[in-house]
Amino acid sequence: MNKSSTRQCQPCTACCDGWVQMNIRGAEVSPGRPCPHSTGKGCDDYANRPVDPCENFACGWIIPGSPLPEWMKPNEAKVMVLPNKLQWRGAPVDVAVPVGRRIPPRALNWLKQFAEKHGRPLIYMEQTVLNGVFQREQQAIAYGPPEFQQEVMQKVAQGQRLWR
């Protein structure tokens, strides 16, 4: 467990590179469409970045007290964890987004074990690729109690947002 808040983002820019869907001052950021300010090593307008979503973005690897191990830095583990993104029956639900098409097995197995051990349902995403091009739509997969899985799949089938 990371007891301090000394972790640094750079050289990771996974959030800026479009793996998490955002809107930055009118620019749609999504897989295959990075933020126009991302240099791949940082932000070319960091001092003027918007509070929402940039300053308010909560990467699970960098938050103080993060339970994620060192090797789970998004640019290395190829997954971004968004902790406590929503609640289900009083339990925090974590969301995991791949940095690439899918979350690698080592990271996904760690996340599933963490979810079971701590009673935290998990939603993890897979990118949709069509003709070699990442699409904005992603596939959501629910991991946790069967009722949780059913509720998430019902929301997906109805086109409802899973979180804000």
List the one residue out of 92, 79, 87, 109 whose CA is nearest residue 12: 79
Instruction: Give the integer Cα–Cα distance in Å for 44 and 158.
Output: 39
The amino acid that residue 90 corresponds to is G
**pLDDT (average), residues 84-93:** 94
**pLDDT (average), residues 77-98:** 95
Long-range contacts of 61-66 (CB under 8 A, 24+ apart): 61/7, 62/5, 62/7, 62/8, 62/9, 63/5, 64/2, 64/4, 64/5, 65/1, 65/2, 65/3, 65/5, 66/1, 66/2, 66/7
pLDDT tens readout for residues 38-56: 888 888 888 888 888 888 8
49: how many CB neighbours lie within 10 A of its CB? Answer: 16
DSSP bridge pairs for 81? 96
pLDDT tens readout for residues 115-161: 999 999 999 999 888 888 777 778 899 999 999 999 999 999 998 88
Average pLDDT in the chain:
89
Residue 122 confidence (pLDDT): 98
- What are the tokens at 90? 């009083």
Look at residue 3 and tell me whether its pLDDT is greater than 70: no
